[in-house]
Chains A and B, each alone.
Chain A
Amino acid sequence: MSTDASEFEGQGRRGTSSAADVLEGGTDDARAPEGILERYSSRYTSRGGTMDLPRTLGYVSVGLGLAGVLAPRAMSRLIGMPGNDGLLRFIGVRELASGAGLLTQRKATPWLWSRVAGDAMDLAVLGTGLRPSNPYRGRAAGAMLTVAAITALDVVASMRDSSQSSEVFRVVRKRQDKLIEHTVSVNRSPQDCYAFWRDVSNLSRFSPMLEKVTAIDEKRSHWVLRGPGGKKIEWDSEITADEPGERIAWRSISGDVKHAGSVRFQPAPGGRGTFVSAMMHFQPPGGHMATAVSKMLGKDPNHQVREDLRRFKSLLETGEVPSTRGQPSGRRGFIGRMTRDGRESREGALS
């Protein structure tokens, strides 16, 4: 199978991208998401071996293809069907295409199935060589047996690759739809970052989507989201994992929204502060509420989480969030009033 597949599969197996883990809070260490460092370094260094089955079949295709294209007469005699030079050339070109696909494309599946289709065609052609009038039908029968064996290999490789690919797509799709993950480096200690995030009343300071988060007790808190048109969306949340200086995970337990998240604080290499990695999972309920929440998240929830982390960093490092809200400007034009900056400035009057 292709190398990108193994990366995602490996990731899935370690549970780092699993929504279930985020929702459960992953209190046991085996299921806890790994730190951003280990994950990316392993993702980019553990390339699999080069001589896997699809690759081998690719080389076989290229060999057969070259033989068919360059020496069709010899090949047609070899398989007991002399005089079919044109057909052999065509088969050669087809094999070259399959081989090129298998050796150069990241996704092997369609090219493996193209080989299976080609095998079926070859068997049909060779079948015509078994007719009694063919003096070389013995050679044709031998060729058929060889092709049948290769066909079996092709089918095995194709089916195995297909099942792995769908697994890959499942994981990838989940990552895009629901799980959002970003990392920011903060010039403070993991302990400082953890303490600031752990005080839930701070959350709304760097996540402006939230109007207010108040602690109910040690574990539970009440969240209020600022809805469109002043409408409030509220839910209760509980902390499911709390490792001081290292990690916090939480999930909603009642209310309008199903939400879970976790944040990990890792010492950055070389003593350069902390890598803060947040993983968020949103699952808005159906109907009216879903619309409201998705509106709030904007077209790109990824952007929201990334900007929240950026504000978290600024607060920790400078004590404030950079802003131009309420600064003066001259008269804004049509385009300006469509942008956030344009709307948030105090416009002058016509002079």
Chain B
Amino acid sequence: MRANCWNGVRDLRVENVPDPKIINPRDAIIRVTSTAICGSDLHLYDGFIPTMLAGDILGHEFMGEVIEVGPGVTNLKAGDRVVNPFPIACGNCFFCQGEEFSLCENSNPNAWIAEKLWGHSPAGLFGYSHMLGGYAGGQAEYVRIPFADVGPIKVPEHLDDDKVLFLSDVFPTGYMAAENCNIRPGDTVAVWGCGPVGLFAIASAFILGAERVIAIDRVPERLRLAREHCKAETLDYEQVNVLEALREMTGGRGPDSCIDAVGLEAHGHGFFATYDKVKTATFMGTDRPTALREAILACRNGGTLSVPGVYGGFLDKVPFGAIVNKALTVKTGQTHVQRYMRPLLELIEQGRIDPSFIISHHLPLEDAPRGFQIFRDKQEDCTKIVLKPGMQRQTGTGQGQPKEPPVLH
């Protein structure tokens, strides 16, 4: 089959690899119909996540048709159309039974590596380094799904791939970020980053009852989506001082909750942003927590800091004193996707949200390397790329058609 393989920093190649097969009784194999490039895949692309090996198949947002199941899978059969969650979870351990699926104790065969870095290991993930399981990912024609009786959910035929694909990661991730804010009526929520997770966090915050959402980014197309389709007020951090602006907009008190949907490769500007760039470029630091610092300082006293953005290692110059003295609550974690898929599918079926509004490009799987490059560099107004195995490569621009704006009710 064809698969998008990591071969080094900013070196991806779509290669011929063997087809996956059933390894364990609770496995299933699916034929991928749609798979997306996630913002967190860019951290792999840029070499920020350790324990990647040349030849690793990327991709953790995917859906498709079941073609084979192991003897331990009774709830799925060949022909079922399913969306798959990005964390792999057994459903039996202490954490799975508490619906904290991304903390599954039984899905990471390389747990000992993660334990060295973090003390304990979270769940294994698809296509996201050997430290997190080393599982082959879904940017391929076929993919093996372990614990397939727990993860994938069947989706109705009348909802096309674009509407349900993001149940695999970014929609639940944005939703959990907003849910972690424990929003009460009248609340103002600030969201750093208007990529897919940030946009879904904005939309979810409104669904959960926020009065106002203020979104922060610098890319015009992303700010436009936040403003026009998600009804957020927007701040361009290259035009205004975000801390001052947030203070003014909230009567001096600060937002009730702050969501960092940026993660470890924040851009930002000013002294600390430069400091972070120098440190990470010279291997003296692992992360660039510019957005996180700003979110901590902006948050009101007693407020909540919610971090769906990915951080990997050891963060520098994080104002923990502000967290203590302002009595902030910090909520974070990889998303417990399995917990949210069915309720969010219901929201889609009811027409309350159409997640396809974030898609800017449909590309053939063969164009994955180019997709990563334009997504990373925010070219061609790129907000989200869906890869389609088997789609014909276009000569010329190769650019997909932007979708019509979604309707958010």
Contact = CB atoms under 8 A, between A and B. Distances in A.
Note whether A and B form a binding pair. yes
Interface of A: 185, 187, 272-273, 303, 306-307, 310, 313-314, 317-333, 335-336, 339, 341-342, 345-351
Contact of B94 (A185, A320, A328): A185
A351 B54 contact: no
Contacts of A272: 94
Interface of B: 1-3, 5-7, 13-21, 23-26, 53-57, 72, 88, 90-94, 97, 105-112, 124, 130, 133-136, 140, 144, 146-147
B54 A333 contact: yes
Of A185, A314, A321, the most chain B CB neighbours within 10 A belong to A314
A331 B15 contact: yes
Contacts of B72: 319-320
Given A187-B92, A307-B112, A330 B135 contact: no
Contacts of B112: 303, 306-307
Contacts, number: 135
A319 B7 contact: no
Nearest to B92: A317
Contacts of A339: 53, 130
B47 to A, nearest CB: 14
A341 B110 contact: yes
21 contacts: A303-B112, A317-B93, A318-B106, A320-B24, A322-B146, A324-B109, A325-B23, A328-B18, A328-B136, A330-B7, A330-B55, A330-B57, A333-B7, A333-B55, A336-B53, A336-B54, A341-B110, A348-B5, A348-B17, A348-B18, A349-B16
B105 to A, nearest CB: 7
B17 A330 contact: yes
A313 B109 CA distance: 12
Contacts of A318: 26, 90-93, 106, 147
Nearest to A334: B54
Contact of B55 (A317, A321, A342): A342
A52 B3 CA distance: 69
Nearest to B25: A320
Nearest to B97: A187
Given A318-B106, A348-B15, A332 B20 contact: no
Given A328-B19, A328-B20, A322 B109 contact: yes
Contacts of A335: 53-54
Contacts of B2: 351
What 6 A-B pairs come out closest when comparing CB atoms? A330-B5, A348-B17, A333-B54, A330-B55, A336-B53, A329-B55
A321 B109 CA distance: 8
A324 B23 contact: yes
Of B88, B94, B106, B134, the most chain A CB neighbours within 10 A belong to B106
A323 B25 CA distance: 11
A328 B130 contact: no
Of B14, B109, B130, the most chain A CB neighbours within 10 A belong to B109
A322 B130 contact: no
A141 to B, nearest CB: 62
Contacts of A330: 3, 5-7, 13, 15, 17, 54-57
Of A273, A307, A342, A350, the most chain B CB neighbours within 10 A belong to A342
Contacts of B20: 327-328
Contact of B54 (A307, A319, A331): A331
A303 B97 CA distance: 28
A330 B147 CA distance: 24
B18 to A, nearest CB: 4
A86 B144 CA distance: 81
Contacts of B110: 341
Given A317-B92, A330-B5, 18 more contacts: A310-B111, A314-B106, A319-B25, A322-B109, A325-B23, A326-B21, A328-B1, A328-B20, A329-B53, A329-B56, A329-B136, A330-B7, A333-B54, A335-B54, A341-B110, A345-B136, A349-B16, A351-B2
Of A185, A306, A317, A329, the most chain B CB neighbours within 10 A belong to A329
Nearest to B27: A320
Nearest to A303: B112
Contacts of B6: 330
Nearest to B26: A320
Contacts of A345: 55, 136
A130 B231 CA distance: 97
B86 to A, nearest CB: 16
A313 B134 CA distance: 20
A272 B95 CA distance: 11
A327 B106 CA distance: 18
Contacts of B147: 318
A342 to B, nearest CB: 5
A324 B147 CA distance: 13
Contacts of A314: 90, 106
Contact of A329 (B57, B88, B111): B57
A348 B13 CA distance: 12
